[in-house]
Amino acid sequence: MEFEKDILCIGAGYVGGPTMAVIADRCPHYRVTVVDIDEDRIRAWNSDRLPIYEPGLDEVVARARGRNLFFSTALEDGIRNSDIIFVSVNTPTKTFGQGAGRAADLQYWEKTARQILRNAESHKIIVEKSTLPVRTAAAMERILNAAPDGPRFDVVSNPEFLAEGTAVRDLESPDRVLVGSRETPEGVQARKAVVEIYANWVSRERILESNIWSSELSKLTANAFLAQRISSINSISALCEKTNAVIDEVAYAIGTDSRIGSKFLKASVGFGGSCFKKDILNLVYICENYGLEEVARYWESVVRINEWQEKRFVRNILSNLFDTVAGKRVALFGFAFKANTGDTRESPAIYVARGLLEERARLVITDPKALGNARAVLADVDGNVSFEEDPYKAAEGAHAIAVLTEWDLYRGLDYERIYRSMVSPAFIFDGRNILDHQKLYEIGFNVFAIGKAPLKHFK
C-alpha cells in the first residue's frame, strides 16, 4: 500500500512510543516507524508485553502495529525513507562538567542529529519532541545544515504535554498541540506539515502555532507552573500539620476560585517524574546564563521545597518511630512516581527508601507495576530491601507502612487484617492522603497524613 507520509520517530520511550502509536492509530494513511538503539525495548514493543505500562496503550498498539505502525532498530533505513523525523531520545540532567545537576545533557540529541545528517539523502523535517532547553533547535539546525551541498533540514518544535498514566487520553484529546518553527517560508511550510498530522484528529483551534523559541519555552514554563502549584500546596501542608487546618479542605476552598482552579493542588510526599525537576533546573540554568539571578532563585525554590517535603516525610517517620528505625521492618506501598505507571524516574519513593535505608530500616517494597524498575533503581543496596507483589505480605511484621503512590488498590485493602499482622504500635504514613484516616485510627493505627494533624494513640 502507498502511504501519504512516512513518519519516523527516533526513541521508543515513554514519549515516542505512545505518541507514535496514537498518530498511527488515528492516521492509517501514514506509515509510522519507531526506531531505538535498545534492541530489548524494540523487541518488547513488538511483543504482547509492551515495555511501558500505560492504560489503553495495548489496544492502540494492537490496532496499528503491523498495519502502519512498525518498531525497529533499523535507524539508517528509517532515516532514508522518511519525510518527517520526530526525535524523542532521552535528555537527562547533566551529571558532569559545566551545568552539572542543572543543564540538560544533549549528547543523545546531538548523536541523533549526526546520524540523521549521515544518512539523509533528501530534505527532512526534524521535530523536537524531547524536552530540550530553549535554543536547542537553533543548535541542531546549525549541526544539520553544516554541509553546504547536503539536503536541507527544517527543525520544528512540538513539545509533548502528555502525562504518564493518562498518555493515551492526553494524546487523543489534548488541551492543545503546540508547533513552533522559524518564521521563514521554509520554516512555516515545515510547521504546516506537522500541523497537518495532528489535524487528522485534533480540532484546528487546539493546534497552536508559534515561533520556535516560544514553543520551546512554553514546555518548560508549563511544567514549572504545574510543579509550582504542588510545591505551593506542599509548603502549606507543613503549616496545616502544626495547626488544626486540614490541607484537603484548604485546597478545595482555594481551588473553587475559578481564577485558581482545582487541579494540581493535591498535597503529597513530593512530585516526581522525568520532567518537572529536569525542566525547572533547565529553566534555572538558562536564567543564570542570561544573568537573571532572581528569576533563577525563584524557580529553583520550587525544587527546593519539593526536596524539603521529601526530607520532612522521612524525618516524620523517624521521629514518630521513637527516633530509630534500625532493624525495623517498614513497608513502602507504591514506588512509581504516580499511579497508573511503572515509571520510577525521580520518584519521591527513591528518596524516602534511601533515607530509611540510611537509618538501617528493613524495607519491603510493593507496587503493582513498578517493582522491576524499583529493583533496578535500588540495585546497589544489599540486604535490607526486599520486593513483594502482595501488599498484605509486605505489611506482615512491619512497624510502619508508608504510602508513596496513590494506587487505587491501596484504598480498598482490608486494613483490619493488615493491622493484626503488624507489630504494635502500628503506624501509617500516608504520603498521598488517599486512605480513610479516621477509620485507620479507629482500627488502632497511629496515622500521619500530609497536611493534617496526626492521629495518635499516645501523647
| Catalytically active residues, by annotation | 275
Residue among 141 and 430 whose Cβ is closer to ligand UDX: 430
Q: Is 338 in the site for ligand UDX (CB under 6 A)?
A: yes
- What single-letter amino acid sits at 29? H
Q: Which stretch binds ligand UDX (CB under 6 A): 58-66, 101-109, 195-203, 266-274?
A: 266-274
Count other Cβ atoms within 10 Å, centred on residue 260: 13
Q: Sketch the per residue contact string, 432 through 451, with ligand ADP: x for CB under 6 A, - otherwise.
A: --------------------
The number of residues in the chain equals 459
Q: Which stretch binds ligand ADP (CB under 6 A): 37-45, 316-324, 411-419, 435-443?
A: 37-45
**Count of chain residues binding ligand ADP (CB under 6 A):** 21
Measured CA to CA, the distance from residue 252 to residue 258 in angstroms comes to: 11
> Of residues 33, 136, 157, 223, which one binds ligand UDX by CB under 6 A?
223
Q: Are 397 and 329 in contact (CB under 8 A)?
A: yes
Residue listed under C-alpha cell 502500628: 426
- The values of phi and psi at residue 74, to 5°, are -80, 80
Minimum CB–partner distance for residue 54 and ligand ADP (Å): 11
Measured CA to CA, the distance from residue 178 to residue 348 in angstroms comes to: 30
Q: Is 369 in the site for ligand UDX (CB under 6 A)?
A: no
Q: Is 337 in the site for ligand UDX (CB under 6 A)?
A: yes
Q: Is 441 in the site for ligand UDX (CB under 6 A)?
A: no
Closest CA to 5 of 109, 86, 63: 86
What pairing do the DSSP bridges indicate for beta strands 84-87 and 124-128? parallel
Q: What is the DSSP letter of 156?
A: E
Number of helices and strands in the chain (H, E): 17, 14
Helix, strand or coil, per DSSP, at residue 307: helix
Q: Is 38 in the site for ligand ADP (CB under 6 A)?
A: yes
Q: Is 143 in the site for ligand ADP (CB under 6 A)?
A: no
Q: Is 171 in the site for ligand ADP (CB under 6 A)?
A: no
Instruction: Record the cell numbers describing residue 313, joined without a space.
Output: 516525610
Q: Are 171 and 141 in contact (CB under 8 A)?
A: no
Residue listed under C-alpha cell 510547521: 191
Q: Which residue lies nearest ligand UDX, judged by its C-beta?
A: 273
> Of residues 29, 67, 111, 118, which one binds ligand ADP by CB under 6 A?
111
Minimum CB–partner distance for residue 418 and ligand UDX (Å): 23
Q: Residues 12 to 31: which contact ligand ADP by CB under 6 A?
A: 12-16
Q: Is 230 in the site for ligand UDX (CB under 6 A)?
A: yes
| Footprint of ligand ADP (CB under 6 A) | 10-16, 35-38, 41, 75, 88-90, 108, 111-112, 130, 274
